[in-house]
A and B are shown apart, each in its own frame.
Chain A
C-alpha cells in the first residue's frame, strides 16, 4: 500500500492505495463517488472521463497512486459550475441521454469542448466527441446539446451586433 494525498472536488484527501488500483476504482470504491462510470476499463469508451488538474482524462488508465498532489474533479464536483448547468439543461432539452451510463463522461468532454473550442462547428464537435461512446442516442441529441450551449454563449458574447468582427 502507498500513501497518497490529493484533492478531490476541492476537498483534500489522504488515503492508502494499492498501486494497481486505477483512479476510477479509487473514486468509486474508496471515495463513494459513483457518478464516474466504468465501461471498457482500457481507455476506449470514455465513460470514466473526469478532470485531472483541470484537463479531461480517463480515470480507468490513470492510477490513483500516480495522482499524488493532483487535483481531481468528478461529475459530482460540477454541481455549481455555470457551463455544466447550461449543458445539463441542454442535454435535457435535446434528449441527449437515455440510459445515462455515458453521460457523466459525455458532460465532462462536452464542457471541455465548450470552453476550449468556442468556435466549434458540428463536424468539430463530432470529432471531439469521438472518444466518448454512447450506445443509446446515436449522438444526434448530444451533438445538438453541445451546439445549443455554444450558440447561446456566442450570442451572449455579441449581443445584437452580428456585423461586428470578433
Chain B
C-alpha cells in the first residue's frame, strides 16, 4: 500500500507544467488534490515516472466571474464550492453537489479539475458539469483549447486530454433567476461512490431543459433536450432513457438509473 517511486515537480505556472508533462510523455501525470490519484498510487494501479503537482500554480486556484459565467480554476476544491468561497453559477446546485462528494476531509483537498480529469464514472462533477453545459479549458504544448464538458469524458477513466495537456479550468454558464435544478444519487452509505446519478436542469429564460444519467459504465449520458421529462414521464419512459444510456443489459442497473432520474425530477422545486 505504498506508492511506487516517482519524481516530483511543483511548477509555478501552467506553461512550465505543460513543458514538464510533455517532456515526460506517457510517464507524466498531473496531480491536484491527490484524493483520487493518491489511492491509485498507493494501490499501484498507476505508476507514473513523474508527478507534476499543480497546486503551486496561482492561476489554477483562482475563480473569475463574468456576466454570464463563472470560471473555476482546476484546483478549486469541493470545500471551496461547498462553503461558498466561490460563486455558484447554478444557484445552489453546485454547492449541493460539492457538499455530498465523499467526506469533508476529502472535499478539503479534492478539486473540481482533478475529479473531472480522473473521469471516474461515479464521480459527481463529470455528470453535474455536463448537465450545466460547462466548458472545459485545456492547455497543452499546442496552446489552449476548449471542450464541452459532455464531450470531455470519453469512457471509464478516459478523457480527451492529450499527453502534456493540463486541465486549467471549467467555465460554467450562469443559470437564470427562474432556473430549477434537481439532482439525485444513490449511495449505499453517505460519501460512498454512487451507483446511479440523475440530474435535471430547467431554465425557461434560457430555453434550456437538460438532463443527465450518470454513474454509468461510460461517460455521463446527457439529454440536451429533456422537455418531455417535465410532463411526469412514466416508468417505461424513464427505463427507456436508462436503456439509451447503455444500461439495458442489467435490470438492476437500469432500474436504479431510471429511479435516480425520477428522484432528480421530483426534487425540482415547483
Contact = CB atoms under 8 A, between A and B. Distances in A.
A60 interface: yes
A76 to B, nearest CB: 18
A143 B1 CA distance: 31
A61 B42 contact: yes
A67 to B, nearest CB: 10
Interface residues of A, number: 33
A61 B190 contact: no
Given A20-B4, A55-B108, A66-B53, A61 B38 contact: yes
B118 interface: no
User: What's the dominant secondary structure at chain A's contact region?
Assistant: mixed
A97 interface: no
User: What's the dominant secondary structure at chain B's contact region?
Assistant: loop
In the complex, which range does the number of interface residues on chain B fall in?
Answer: 20 to 34
Interface stretch (B5-13, B65-73, B214-222, B231-239): B5-13
Nearest to A20: B3
A56 B79 CA distance: 11
Contacts of A126: 190
B53 to A, nearest CB: 5
B192 to A, nearest CB: 8
Interface stretch (B98-106, B145-153, B203-211): B98-106
A56 B42 contact: no
B55 A57 contact: no
Interface of A: 2, 18-20, 22, 25, 40-44, 46, 49, 52, 55-58, 60-63, 65-66, 68, 109, 112, 126-128, 130-132
